Amino acid sequence: MADYLAPRWAAAALVVIDLQRDFLDDGVAPIAGTSAVVPNVAALAAAFRAAGRPIAHIVRFYEPGGSDVDPPRRKAVEEGARIVVPGSDGAEVAEGVMPPSARLDPDVLLAGGAQPVGEREVVFFKPRWSAFHRTGLETWLRAEGCDTVLVAGCNLPNCPRATLFDASERDFRAALAADAVSQTTEERLADLERIGVRLHTTEEALAALSGLAG
C-alpha cells in the first residue's frame, strides 16, 4: 500500500521558522525553549547541506510604526516596541544556523524576494503565521524538486504549526523535527499527527540524511 505521508528524504527541504535572536532567551521577546533547540537546528542545517538538500530560513520583521504587523503584536509595535526590526542584530538568525558570513538583506526580503545565502539555501520573509502566506516558498520548493518539508524552529503552536497545515494542504509530505522546535507539548504534537504530520527526532533525521551525503 502506498504511504503518502512518510518523508522522502531524497526530495526533502529543511524549513527553519523564525529562529531569530530577539526570540532567544536573552532577546527582547523571548520564546521559552528556543535557545535550547538551536544546536539541534544547526545540526539539521549542516546535515541538509552535506546531503545537498535545500534549506529555507523563514524570518519575521516588524517595521517601526506597525504598518504590516500581525494584529496580536500591532499595538505594541505602534507604541514603540522594537522586535525583529529590519537591519537590527535582533532580527538576525541565531548563530550557527545559517552559513557563517550570512546576514539578512531586509530590502530584498521585504520586497518579497528570496535571498540566497548558500548553495540551495535561501531566506524568505513572511508577514504572517505561515511560511507559505504571501511568500515564494511553494514556488521555490517545487523548482527544487521537493515533495517533503521538515520543519524546525521557534514556537510550535504559532508559525511552525500554521506552516505544517499549509504544507499538508499543498500535498507536501509534512514532517516536524520535534526536538528542534520550541514550545512543544504532547497535545500539540498529537494534533499535528492527526493531519498526517510525521514526527521525527533530530537523530532520526540525521541518520536518514547520512545516506544521501557525499
pLDDT at 80: 84
pLDDT at 141: 99
Q: Is the pLDDT of residue 76 over 90?
A: no
- For residue 98, what pLDDT band results from cuts at 50, 70 and 90? very high
Average pLDDT, the chain: 95
For the segment 100-111, the average pLDDT, to the nearest whole number, is 96
- For residue 148, what pLDDT band results from cuts at 50, 70 and 90? very high
pLDDT tens digits for 174-206?
A: 999 999 999 999 999 999 999 999 999 999 999
Domains of the chain: 9-211 (3.40.50.850)
> Which residue is it, cell 524552529?
153
Q: Is the pLDDT of residue 1 over 70?
A: no
- For residue 69, what pLDDT band results from cuts at 50, 70 and 90? confident
For the segment 27-41, the average pLDDT, to the nearest whole number, is 97
Distance CA 59, CA 133 (A): 12
- For residue 72, what pLDDT band results from cuts at 50, 70 and 90? confident
For the segment 114-141, the average pLDDT, to the nearest whole number, is 97
Distance CA 214, CA 205 (A): 16
**Alpha helices, H only, 80-185:** 106-110, 137-143, 159-169
Q: Is the pLDDT of residue 121 over 90?
A: yes
40 contacts 206 by C-beta, under 8 angstroms? no
For the segment 37-53, the average pLDDT, to the nearest whole number, is 98
For the segment 163-183, the average pLDDT, to the nearest whole number, is 98
pLDDT at 68: 79
- Residues linked to residue 58 through DSSP beta bridges, in sequence order: 17, 124
For the segment 1-24, the average pLDDT, to the nearest whole number, is 94
Q: Is the pLDDT of residue 125 over 90?
A: yes
Would you give the DSSP letter of residue 197?
A: P
In sequence order, the 6+-apart residues with CB closer than 8 A to the CB of 59 are 18, 20, 84, 91, 93, 104, 109, 123, 124, 125, 126
